[in-house]
Amino acid sequence: MAGVLRSRSINADNDGKVLSMHTLNMDEPSSDIEIYAKEVLNALISDNLPPTPNNFSLYFDRLLEDKSENLRKQIVSMLELEENNDDENTILLEQSLKQGFASIKNVLGITANLYKNMALMTKILERRKKELHENPIIQAALGVISTLEGDVSKLNTILLKQSSQMKLLYEETAAIIKNVENETIFDNQFGVYNKRNLLLKIEQEMGLIKEFKHKSSLIMIELSRDLVKSVQNEKAIILMTRTIARLLLKTSRRSDTVAHYGNGVFAMLLKHTDIESAKKASERLCDLVSNSNFFMGDREIQLKISIGVTNVDAEYSVEEIVVSAMNAIEKAYTQSGVDYAVSLRSNNNL
């Protein structure tokens, strides 16, 4: 019956004992977004998942993929208006911090060059003074040169002291930045999350899987090695890899975690996504990338990626799950005409 949701409502007496559970009747929805929201809630309850904000958000994104383009645009437009992502704020803070550190480093470099120039000026004065000593006609100028030499020497001493102080401040700042970087979640080079954040998200998801028994997947993505060999241009490969990162962000859901694992290998943690759905996501991603050509001078290059798919199994470690996905990439290379492969972590598939 439309507008009726099966929900657990807990009534307790003064002793805290649960008395009953009942069906919650709700008014008929008045808009598409309300209809969809109730459909999401129904799906959560049907899968025996608690309708927490996090679970609701995950299912909200997942079920939206099967809706009409018109509804998707309508909902995405509303989401953009109310977007308030703490991670994005953290990323902006990290970027500002690193830019500030780069500016401090530049100031130190300029100061070092200034000190070198002052040292060069001192040498020039000594050379000119020696030349004057050898010319008896302009002995009178020696007094002026000596005075100037003394002034430059004093300035040089002051500058050397200040330079040493700046170097000490720089080292202290560098230590602070190093500590901050150990806690960062963002990869500046590719504009996605970093390896540290990825491993943390996988670990958190494993805890949720152990508690609620749902299925999630991990896919690892890299630029095809055959393509890398054919290009043999480091700068072009970096640009192509950045293009892959942008495409991953474009095709991902808000609930997915897109991260740079290292050495141009990316990962996507697909929450509440079984292997079959992860395979379909991999197919869509491969098609999206293959339709995105890259131009290097007059040469047009068709981008291609290789993907490894694995399940997130709470019975194994984070490292074992990542290795399983990396093994799946290797498996894809052994199969002709295949862009992705699956390697499962389970008691029957070690």
Measure the CA–CA gap between 209 and 197, rounded to whole angstroms.
18
Chain segment 15-65, per-residue pLDDT in tens = 433 333 333 445 555 578 888 889 999 999 998 888 888 888 888 888 888
* H or E element at residue 307: strand 305-311
Does position 315 have pLDDT exceeding 90, yes or no?
yes
Least confident of 54-58, 112-116, 234-238, 320-324: 112-116
Token pair belonging to 153: 């020497």
- Please choose, from the candidates 266, 264, 258, the residue with its C-alpha nearest in 3D space to the C-alpha of residue 201: 258
List CB contacts of 342: < 8 A, sequence separation 6 or more: 275, 279, 309, 310, 328, 331
For residue 299, count other CB atoms closer than 10 A to its CB.
10
Measure the CA–CA gap between 255 and 261, rounded to whole angstroms.
18
Strand partners, 269: 218, 257
How confident is the model at residue 176, as a pLDDT? Answer: 75
Contact 266, 308 (CB under 8 A): no
Token pair belonging to 135: 């010319």
Cα 239 from chain centre: 16
C-alpha distances in angstroms, 7 versus 20, 21, 44, 49, 190? 12, 8, 10, 11, 43
Q: Looking at residues 119-130, what average pLDDT do you find? A: 76
- Strand 186-187 versus strand 217-223 pairing type: unpaired
The highest-confidence range among 71-80, 163-172, 240-249, by mean pLDDT, is: 240-249
Chain segment 70-122, per-residue pLDDT in tens = 888 888 777 765 555 566 667 777 777 777 777 777 777 777 777 777 778 77
List CB contacts of 199: < 8 A, sequence separation 6 or more: 318, 322
Average pLDDT across the chain, whole number: 81
Residue 144 confidence class, pLDDT cut points 50, 70, 90: low
- For the whole model, what pTM was predicted? 0.70
- Give the chain's domains with CATH numbers: 4-82 (no CATH), 87-181 (1.10.287), 188-342 (3.30.70.270)
Measure the CA–CA gap between 190 and 273, rounded to whole angstroms.
25
Does position 254 have pLDDT exceeding 70, yes or no?
yes
The DSSP letter of residue 343 is: -
Q: Write the burial class of residue 31 (CB in 10 Å: 0-12 exposed, 13-18 middle, 19+ buried).
A: exposed
Give the largest CA-CA distance in the chain: 115
Residue 139 confidence class, pLDDT cut points 50, 70, 90: low
Sign of dihedral through CA atoms 224, 339, 344, 271? positive
